[in-house]
């Protein structure tokens, strides 16, 4: 595999992890978004998925962000009788977003992003060094 192909593979990883981080950030931003009226659902957590895509130019499979799925787990409940979305018992449905899980997912996505960025940096250094050798 040539050096340009490794950069394209790492760039695909960067795009996938960037999309993953956007979804996680949306989940965290909406972790306290409740419904506006009783009986309505609050924000539902989104789960990013990945798919393999054949890159015919370089002849390898790369990763890309796939469909965004909705987490079908149960919503939480919080006792807040004065809230406009409170039911008859005073409970409000809260999103099924766990900020601890989202933070860990974000950290994992950041590390994967950094790893792909390091691959691009190392490849650029190897290309620059190769050019230096060829000039000599």
So where are the chain's domains?
3-135
**pTM, to two decimals:** 0.87
How do residues 23-33 score in pLDDT, each as one tens digit? 999 999 999 99
pLDDT (tens digit per residue) in 54-92: 988 888 899 999 999 999 999 999 999 999 999 999 999
Strands 60-70 and 76-79 turn out to be unpaired
What is the C-alpha separation between 12 and 18, in angstroms, rounded?
Answer: 10
Q: Are 19 and 48 contacting, i.e. CB atoms less than 8 angstroms apart?
A: yes
């Amino acid at each position: 595999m040539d050096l340009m192909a490794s950069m394209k593979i790492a760039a695909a990883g960067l795009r996938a992890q960037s999309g993953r981080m956007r979804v996680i950030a949306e989940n965290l931003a909406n972790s306290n978004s409740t419904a506006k009226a009783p009986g309505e659902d609050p924000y539902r957590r989104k789960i990013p998925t990945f798919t393999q895509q054949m890159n015919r130019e370089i002849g390898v499979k790369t990763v890309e962000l796939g469909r965004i799925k909705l987490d079908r787990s149960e919503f939480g409940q919080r006792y807040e009788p004065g809230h406009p979305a409170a039911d008859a018992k005073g409970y409000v449905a809260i999103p099924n977003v766990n900020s601890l899980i989202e933070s860990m997912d974000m950290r994992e996505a950041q590390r994967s992003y950094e790893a792909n960025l390091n691959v691009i940096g190392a490849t650029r250094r190897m290309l620059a060094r190769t050019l230096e050798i060829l000039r000599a």
